[in-house]
Amino acid sequence: MGLFDIFSFKKNAGKVFSSENIIGLFNLAKDKIIEQAKAKIPGEEKKIAVDYLVIKYIESKIENCTNKYVLWLVEKLIAEVPKITQLIYDFLKAKIENL
């Protein structure tokens, strides 16, 4: 990792993984889970729809990112989206009746 890569990583990672973006990701997932809970489609289709929207949100935050290390981290984050949305769903289900 060269000096340019380090500065580029810090700059890009700070934008992609800002607290605003992370909070936005969790709020989007929460809102879409609640929205999908009302839809009259099978549960698996709801999960796929929520995961898709969360992944699109993450991808929108890296549109101008060229740092390969940040992109690698984002790739790892995207791979964990189904687990993240499932945790949020489980939490909401415990707190919201009839979810």
Contact in structure between 92 and 34 (CB atoms under 8 Å): yes
Please report the pLDDT score of residue 2 as a whole number.
60
Angstrom distance (rounded) from CA 14 to CA 66 = 13
Specify the pTM.
Answer: 0.81
Taking the C-alpha atoms of residue 27 and residue 29, their distance in angstroms, rounded to an integer, is 5
Greatest Cα pair distance in the chain: 53
One digit per residue, pLDDT tens: the chain, 99 residues? 565 566 677 777 888 888 999 999 999 999 999 998 888 888 889 999 999 999 999 999 988 888 888 899 999 999 999 999 999 999 998 988 877
- pLDDT at position 6 is 65
Q: Could you give the CA distance from residue 96 to residue 99 in angstroms, rounded to a whole number?
A: 6
The answer to whether 33 and 85 have CB atoms below 8 angstroms apart is: yes
